[in-house]
Amino acid sequence: MSHFSLRPAVESDARQIRDLIHRVGINPMDLNWRHFVVVEDADSQFMGCAQLKPHKDGSLELASLAVQEEFRKQGVARALIEHLLARSPRPLFLMCQPALVPFYEKFGFRAIGLKAMPPYFRKISRLIKVLVAFNRDAGPAIMRLE
């Protein structure tokens, strides 16, 4: 198991954050480095990142969780989530692939329906449903932690 540490992102992390988010194929919107926490190993190598993303409707999202492929299955994602949960007000929301719902349930998140979503997530959910209307996939799951 690797030894690593977490720290608030600094401006010089912005490019690595953006590059990793694009490489893993998750939402590249609103990647403000000021909202991120990064993980690095003992040699200061960038391992992964996540953010608490504020939305205009006042909701807060655990977002942009990404770990470099060579550092997966070493507890990096769990460390990021636990770190951010300890510093986050509630409720806290997240958007994930349906296959990841059981993973996030371990942290207390629960999938919610459209009526329970704040305006930002209702808008995104409706937009995604239109975009995937001809696809069998239902789109991402929206989850909430009280």
Q: Are the C-beta atoms of residues 54 and 62 closer than 8 Å to each other?
A: no
pTM of the shown model = 0.90
> Has residue 134 got a pLDDT over 80?
no
> DSSP for the chain?
---EEEEE--GGGHHHHHHHHHHHT---S---GGGEEEEEETT--EEEEEEEEE-TTS-EEEEEEEE-GGGTTSSHHHHHHHHHHHT--SSEEEEE-GGGHHHHHTTT-EE--GGGS-HHHHHHHHHHHHHTTTSS----EEEEE-
Residues in the chain, total: 146
Q: Which residue has the higher pLDDT, 56 or 136?
A: 56
At the top level of CATH, the class of 4-145 is alpha beta
Q: Please give the pLDDT value at position 144.
A: 98
